[in-house]
Structure 1
Amino acid sequence: MSNLDLNLLITLDAVLAEGSVTRAAKRLRLSPSAMSRALARLRETTGDPLLVRAGRGLVPTPRAIELRDRVGQLVRDAQEVLRPAEFLDLSKLDRTFAIRTSEGFAESFGPALIARIGEQAPGVRLFFMQKPDKDSKPLRDGVVDLETGVIDLTSAPELRGQSLFRDNYVGVVRSGHPLSRGQITPEKYAAGTHISVSREGIEKGPIDDALLPLGLERKIATIVGGFSTALGLARGSDMIASVPERHTASLREGMYSFALPFRTPEFTVSLLWHPRFSADPAHRWLRSLILDVCGKSE
């Protein structure tokens, strides 16, 4: 039995259902000789003739009658297991999805996303996880379902990704800050006291690179690990925070935001997942919903 050919179950199901070797061969699109060999193997494997001649036709043996319903159900179950999942009943979906993302994403896109989920799949919950680093190991290990971020997929070819939106940096100060009045020049911006955002504690970044050709340099007063902390400090002081515009829309409410008076490179925020979830219909549905919500917020 160690070399059991499970294809014999399909052959046996056809033979028992049709009650005819000829009709079973047509059903399976086998030649008469191939069907005869398959029937011989079935008889050898089961130790029973299965179909015996009675007059001009064939009739099933008691063993064949005993197996008919069981084999038919086994084949139907196997077909169901191997059939691509197509139908998803969102009204009955009960599942928690973990999304690993940077500060600001949940605040900016979460309300609309949760509202849409509530309308379509009330049994679905989102678990927004903090993203303390760029290591995608939790995604690879299946600890999280989805991740957002500025990630170069060439460095993680085993992951799948899709662009969510383009973003750029804006300056943010408290309401009533001197920069909220009058034109902001590169010199006025650089002359202020700044907050740098870096999970790794790095002082310089793309904004400093953009100022360099202008002969300007920011004075960094403090380095923080997230946008929320940077905006909280700026809200209660005269310091300037420079943060992604779309990613922090809700976090900046009540503050004065302004376009940076010099060119900085735009960047793409992507949605990432592991291939193990690519064909999961519930996962595909959530990915589509996130793409739609982020697209409509542009």
Structure 2
Amino acid sequence: MSMPDLNLLVTLNVLLAEGSVARAARRLRLSPSAMSRALARLREATGDPLLVRAGRGLVPTPRALELRDQVAGLVHGAEAVLRPAVRPRLEQLVRTFTLRTSEGFVENFGPALIARVAAEAPGIRLRFMQKVDKDSAPLRDGIIDLETGVVDEHAGPEMRVQALFRDRYIGVVRRGHPLSRSRITAARYAGSRHISVSRRGREKGAIDEALAAHHLSRQVVTIVGGFATALSLARQSDLIASVPERHTGNLRDGMHSFTLPVATPAFTISMLWHPRLQADPVHQWLRECVREICGRKNGKAAKQGGRTA
């Protein structure tokens, strides 16, 4: 069975509304002959004359009157489907978004993000999932809606990406720690006892590579899975926690932070989402919220470079 020409629905809707081939032709910007041919096709498709001569004009048949409201509804529905989505009223929404982030992201940016969402859309709930790997399958399968982190080769090539902020590693010790009272050299830093942060339990990373360039190595006495745990240990001991600066801003209150005495590469924290959510108006609003919260610095909005891929 061949597919009917759905464009004929638009033509039929205008013909039934106008009751005139000439007026319908002007409205659709067609020639009278083209409109007459379209009416002939409609008669063939429906098996009904639809419009018949009555004096000097045309009148609809009973079948045409039966179809008029139905056709108008179909055309208006199609127009609505093909029209750009309009953001619904946020205060009336009931929806749950799942975000996969690091422990530090939730603890540092989570409170402000939750407050911002609650103020505009109290029916929206945020579910935070811990990031145990960088597999893009949960984004692709719709298990999670948004992810934050460093983009690498594990990210699916189809994912949309936007940079949120640049970050760097710093050292953090308790107030009164010997390193808080004098200049910190690479040798003094390496000679202290350290906490290593690694979800996978790795002992060495970029900091150790930077120290190795100076023929130094640090003594890692414990390995933990998150920044908050590392800072909690450092707050109550003489251990050094080396953590991302922006990720841990709210967690380092009352502690002494310092620039690392060796150069380590800065890195970009981005958010990722699947292309199917690109045009969703509520997801667009959520991304705006995340961008705004992550763009704040010292209570004010900070400009952050970024691109959408």
TM-score, length of structure 2 as denominator length: 0.91
Q: Distance in 1 between matches of 2:37 and 2:60?
A: 18
CA distance in 2, matches of 1:230, 1:109: 18
1:60 aligns with 2:57: no
Contact 1:153 1:159 in 2 (8 A): no
Q: CA deviation at 1:52?
A: 0.4
**Cα deviations across residues 61-104 of structure 1 (Å, max 9, x unaligned)?**
11111111111111111111221113432222221111110011
State the match for 1:264 in structure 2. Answer: 264
Residue type of the alignment partner of 1:14: V
Partner of 1:151: 151
Q: Cα offset for 1:154? A: 8.9
Please identify, of 27-36 and 255-264, the stretch whose mean Cα deviation from structure 2 is larger: 27-36
Give secondary structure in 1 for the equivalent of 2:96: strand
Aligned-partner residue type, residue 160 of structure 1: R
Quote the residue 2:255 is aligned against: 255
Q: Give, in whole Å, the separation in 1 of the partners of 2:187 and 2:282.
A: 51
Residue 222 of structure 1 pairs with residue 222 of structure 2: yes
Aligned pairs for 1:46-195 (under 5 A) are 46-152=46-152, 156-195=156-195
User: Do the aligned residues in 2 keep the contact of 1:153 with 1:161 (CA within 8 Å)?
Assistant: no
Q: Which runs of no fewer than 5 residues in structure 2 stay unpaired?
A: 303-309
The AA in structure 2 aligned to 1:283 is: H
* Conserved 8 A contact 1:105-1:247: yes
Q: Could you tell me how far 1:17 is from its partner in structure 2?
A: 0.6
Change (3 A) 1:154 1:225: closer
Q: Deviations over 1:49-69 (max 9, x none)?
A: 000011111111111111111
CA RMSD, Structure 1 to Structure 2 (Å): 1.7
Query: Which sits farther off after the overlay, 34-43 or 44-53?
Result: 34-43
SS of aligned partner of 2:13: helix
- Residue segments in structure 1 that go unaligned for 5+ positions in a row: none
**Displacement of 1:278 after TM fit?**
0.5
Using the TM superposition, name which of 5-14 and 44-53 deviates more: 5-14
2:260 & 2:121 partners in 1: Cα distance? 41
Q: Distance in 2 between matches of 1:46 and 1:31?
A: 23
Q: Indicate the larger mover: 262-271 or 218-227.
A: 218-227
Deviates further, 115-124 or 1-10: 1-10
Question: What is the CA deviation profile of residues 105-133 of structure 1, one whole-angstrom value per residue up to 9, with x for unaligned ones?
Answer: 12211222222222222222211111011
SS at match of 1:143: coil
SS in 2 for 1:217: coil
CA contact (8 A) 1:104 1:250 kept: no
**Distance in 1 (alpha carbons) for counterparts of 2:136 and 2:60:** 59
CA contact (8 A) 2:193 2:220 kept: yes
Deviation (angstroms), 1:2: 4.5
Q: Distance in 2 between matches of 1:4 and 1:38?
A: 13
Read off the aligned partner of 2:252 and give its amino acid letter: R
Task: Give me the identity figure in percent.
Answer: 68
Q: Which amino acid aligns with 2:198?
A: S
Distance of 2:166 and 2:151 partners within structure 1: 13
Alignment match, 1:42:
42
Provide the aligned length of Structure 1 versus Structure 2.
298
Cα distance in structure 1, aligned partners of 2:273 and 2:149: 11
Give, as a single letter, the amino acid of the residue that structure 1 aligns with 2:98: A
